[in-house]
Structure 1
Amino acid sequence: MKNYISIVLLMIFLVGCKEKNAASAEARETAVSGTATILVDETIFPVIEDVAILFENQYTRTKINLVSKSETEILNMIQKDKGQIAIMAKTLDSTEISYYNKVQKVYPRITEFGSDAVAFIANTNRVDSTLVLNDVLHLLKGGSSAKIKSLVFDNPNSSTVSTLKTMAGIKDLPKQNVFAMNSSKEVVKYVTENEGAIGILGINWLLQPTTDLASYASKIKVLAVENVKINANNTFIKPNQTNIADGSYPVTRKLYLLNFQGTSGLGMGFASYLAGHQGQRIILKSGLIPKRFPTRQIAVRNKVE
C-alpha cells in the first residue's frame, strides 16, 4: 500500500513538473514570441501602431503593448527601469549610453529606422501659407513676431519641444506667446479655433489622422517653411516625403528604437522587423522616410500572355 501511494505521489510530482516546464516555455520571451511593452513617442505613434499590428499578424505568438508617452516621460521611465524598449525621435549621446552601461549594467542597442519632420500648421483663414523659421526661433527666445500670434506645442515634454529648443539654443520655453497642450489632437483642434496660432506637431499625425482628427483636416493647412540654406528661387519648403528625404525641409528628425533588454527578446525581434524589408515598406507607405528604401523585384517576361 505504501509503495502504491509513493508511486501515485511520484506521478503527480512528475506531471506537475511537466506542466510547470510547459508553462514556463510558453511564457519565455524570444525574438518572435512572448509579450513586450514598448514606449512610443506620441509624435510618431500612428506609424508604430501600424507596424505592431502587422508584426503580431505575422508572428501570432507575440503581443506588443504600445504605450504613448512624451519624450521626457520615456527617458524618465527608462532611467527608473520602468521600460526596456522605446521608440523615439532621438538617440542617446555618449554620456547617456555610459550611464546605462554603468548603472543599469546594460548596453543599449540602438536601431535607426527612419526619419520624420516637425510640421507647422495654421488655420485656413491665415492668408500666408509660408513660415519664416527665424520668426519662430525669435519667438522662442522671448521676442515677438507680427506674423505669429502664438506657438502651440503638442506637449510641454514633447520631442517637438526639445527639437525646437535645440534649434533656438534655449533651455526653457518663454512664458508668453508659447503654449503646450496635452496631445497632437488638441493642437489641431486649438488651431482650428484660433486663427493667429501656429501649431507644432509631428507630421505623422497629419499623414495618418485618426477618425476624429480627420474631421478637422479641412480647417487647417500645413505651412511651407523657409530654408535659407537652399540656393533656389523658392526657399519655402513643404514637409512632404521628397523634401524630408533630400533634407530640403529644414526641421527633420531621425527615428530610433532603443532596446535596453540586454537579452534576445521581443525588442530585438521588433527592431529587426522595423528595420527590415517589411517594416521599411510600412514606413514608406505611411509618408515618412525609411532608413533603407525597399527594393522592387521586376520580372521580365519573354512573351505577353
Structure 2
Amino acid sequence: MKNLSIVLVVLMLAACKGGKKDVVIQTRTSGTAKILVDESFSSIIRDQIEVFNADYKDAKITVVPGNENKIVPAFLNDSMGVIILSRMLKPEEAKVYRNRNIIPKTSRFAIDGIALITNKDNPDTTITVEQVISILKGRAAAGGPNLVFDNAYSSTLRYFKDLAGIKDLPKQGIYTLEHNNDVIKYVSEHKNYIGVIGVNWLIEKSTGSSEYISGVKTLGVKNLKGKLGDDAFYQPTQKNLMDATYPFLRNVYIINCEGRDGLGTGFANWLMSQRGQLIVLRSGLGPHKLMPREFNLKNTK
C-alpha cells in the first residue's frame, strides 16, 4: 500500500507538471487578447497581427470588427480592453475607465483618408468640400449627385455629419447601405451617386468588392477656401494623406484600457514601432511616424 501511494503521488505530480506546459503566461508578447476594431480598419489590423504572430508564436489576438456605434458600448462595458477607432474617447467615455482607476492610453498609429468614388462612366472627375457639405445639409442642386454611405452607424458617416455640423440627415440626397462592399457595388451600377468609403478599404480590394472595383473611379477634392488643399483638386493618394493636402482625413487610434501589462499593451506598442509603421506605409495609408534610416559608412581604404 505504501508503495502504491508513492506511485500515485508521483503520477499526480507528473500530470500537474505536464499540464503547466499548456499554460501560456499573459505578457506583452504572449497570451490572448480580443481587440474591438472599427471595420473600416479591420484589414490593416489583420495584416499587423499576422506579422506580430510570426514573431511571437504564443500570442493569440482576435479581431472583433463592427461599426463605431456598436463597438464603443461594448468597449465601455469592459468586455474587451483595446479598441481601434478613428476618434479619441469623449470625456464622458474616458471617465468610465477612470472611475475604475484605469487611465486610457491613446496612440495615433495611422492617417486614413475618406475617398469619394463615382461610376467610371460619370463625366465628373472632381468635387469640392463645399458641394459635399451642401448635399449633407439638404441643399444639393436639383438633379445633383447623391451620397451613399456604408451604414447609418459608421464612423464615416459620423465624420461627415461633424464636418457639416448637422445632427440629422436630410430626407433626400443621402443613402445608407449595410457595408463598404455594398457601396462599391452600388456605385458601380448607378451613375448619379457618389460613394463614401475609407481609403484603406478601397485599396484592400476585398473579396466581396473586387469584381466591382473596375466599375468605379475616385474623385479629386478641393478644400474650403483658406484651408490647406484649397488650391487644387487632390486625389486620396498616400502622399496627399501624409502632407494633408487631401481634405477628408482622419486619424486612426489604438486606445488601450487593458489596465495591466498584457498582450494588448504589447500590440499597441508594436503598432507604434518602426516595423508596425512600415506595415502602415505598405498598406497605402499614412504612418504616424517613420524613423529615418541611418547608414554606417566605413572607410574601406
> TM-score scaled by structure 2?
0.91
2:14 is aligned with what amino acid?
V
- Matched residues in 1 for 2:227 and 2:92: separation? 34
Contact 2:229 2:246 in 1 (8 A): no
CA deviation vs aligned residue, 1:221-251 (integer Å, no higher than 9, x gap): 1111111235888422211112111211111
Aligned alpha-carbon RMSD (Å): 2.2
The secondary structure found in structure 2 opposite 1:83 is coil
Q: Distance in 2 between matches of 1:16 and 1:125?
A: 69
- Residue 247 of structure 1 aligns with an amino acid whose one-letter code is A
Shift of the alpha carbon at 1:301? Answer: 6.5
Identify the match of residue 292 of structure 2 among 291, 295, 300: 295
For residue 217 of structure 2, the aligned residue among 210, 214, 221 is: 221
- 5 Å-filtered alignment, 1:199-210, equals 199-210=195-206
Offset, 1:298: 3.3
Deviations 1:151-183, CA, capped at 9 Å, x for gaps: 111121111011101111112222322111111
**Which one is further off, 42-51 or 5-14?**
5-14
Match of 2:97 among 93, 97, 100: 100
Where 1:56 maps in the other structure, the secondary structure is helix
> How far, CA to CA, are the matches of 2:111 and 2:58 in structure 1?
30
Q: Which runs of 5+ in 2 are unaligned?
A: none
Cα 1:139–1:231 change in 2 (3 A) is closer
Compared with structure 1, are the counterparts of its residues 120 and 109 closer, same or farther at alpha carbon in structure 2 (3 Å cutoff)?
same
- Partner SS for 1:27: coil
Residues of 2 paired with 1:270 and 1:6: CA distance?
Answer: 48
Which of 59, 63, 80 aligns to 1:66? It is 63
Amino acid at match of 2:283: S
Matched, 1:132 2:128: yes
Alignment of 1:19-168 (within 5 A): 19-23=18-22, 26-102=23-99, 104-146=100-142, 148-168=144-164
Distance, in Å, in 1 between the alignment partners of 2:171 and 2:39 is 24
After superposition, the C-alpha distances for 1:90-128 in whole angstroms (9 at most, x for unaligned) are 1113332122211x4422221211111111111112111
Give the TM-score of the pair, scaled to structure 1.
0.90
Aligned length: 300
Q: CA, structure 1 residues 172+247, in 2 after alignment: closer, same or farther (shift >3 Å)?
A: same
1 CA distance for matches of 2:256 and 2:107? Answer: 8
SS at structure 2 position matched to 1:216:
helix
* Alpha-carbon spacing, 1:218–1:134, altered in 2? closer, same or farther (3 Å): same
Using the aligned pairs only, state the percent identity. 36
3-state DSSP class of the match of 2:214? helix
User: What SS does the corresponding residue of 1:182 show, helix, strand or coil?
Assistant: coil
1:183 aligns with 2:207: no
Unaligned runs of 5+ in 1: none
What amino acid is the match of 2:204? Answer: Q
Q: 1:147 to 1:60 in 2, by over 3 A?
A: farther
**Counterpart-to-counterpart distance in 1, 2:11 and 2:28:** 34
Aligned equivalents of 1:263 and 1:291: distance in 2? 25
Map of 1:276 onto structure 2: 273
